[in-house]
């Protein structure tokens, strides 16, 4: 009982959590019928989906397709007994905790009050007077989500990582 309470207060270190999850998920991974790279890639994506949905608040980035292809070749070439160790090492080396950049945080903080101010100002313009019909509880979250999406896309375009996994 004391151990559970201490883990609730501090939490399990993410390295230990990832190792425990990786071992448990590998047995599930082995049960899937992996015949080619597409099956392997689908199994890896399913595994990350399980990890990210099981750990509240923490999300892990999926390795790039190239990294998975390279590991698949290595995984196929290794002996059956060495595959689990290779898999665990791959997961430890390539799995990174997803991080928000400052631009996303600033956009998320600044957008709701700016959306309210813009809506109040637009209500007085006769051409867009229809904006009064949209309730604030719909307008503000919608504008915030759109602003976050556009900030993320524009940031990726500036960094030149569109279509690649951000690490």
Q: Render pLDDT for 37-65 as a digit per residue (tens, 0 to 9).
A: 888 888 888 887 877 777 666 677 788 88
3-state secondary structure of 97: strand
Q: Render pLDDT for 59-114 as a digit per residue (tens, 0 to 9).
A: 777 888 888 888 888 888 888 778 778 877 887 787 777 666 778 888 889 999 99
Position of tokens 């989906």?
49
More confident residue, 165 or 70: 70
Alpha helices in the chain (DSSP H): 2-10, 14-31, 37-54, 65-77, 83-94, 102-122, 136-159
Q: Render pLDDT for 99-152 as a digit per residue (tens, 0 to 9).
A: 667 788 888 899 999 999 999 988 888 888 888 888 999 999 999 999 988 888
Buried b (16+ CB within 10 A) or exposed e, 21-31: bbeebbeebee
- Alpha-carbon span 92 to 73, nearest angstrom: 18
DSSP state at residue 57: T
- Identify whether the C-beta of residue 131 lies closer than 8 Å to the C-beta of residue 123: yes
Residue 162 scores a pLDDT above 50: yes
- Alpha-carbon span 66 to 89, nearest angstrom: 17
């Amino acid at each position: 009982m004391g151990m559970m309470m201490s883990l609730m207060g501090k939490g399990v270190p993410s390295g230990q959590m990832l190792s425990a999850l990786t071992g448990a998920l590998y047995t599930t991974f082995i049960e899937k019928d992996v015949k080619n790279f597409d099956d392997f890639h689908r199994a890896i994506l399913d595994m990350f989906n399980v990890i990210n949905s099981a750990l509240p608040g923490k999300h892990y980035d999926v390795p790039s397709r190239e990294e998975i292809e390279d590991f698949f070749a290595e995984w196929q070439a290794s002996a059956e007994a060495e595959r689990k160790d290779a898999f665990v090492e791959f997961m430890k080396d390539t799995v990174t905790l997803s991080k928000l950049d400052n631009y996303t945080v600033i956009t998320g903080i600044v957008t709701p009050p700016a959306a309210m101010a813009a809506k109040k100002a637009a209500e007085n313009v006769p051409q867009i007077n229809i904006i009064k019909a949209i309730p604030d509880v719909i307008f503000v979250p919608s504008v915030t989500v759109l602003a976050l999406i556009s900030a993320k896309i524009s940031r990726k375009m500036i960094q030149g990582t569109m279509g690649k996994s951000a690490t």
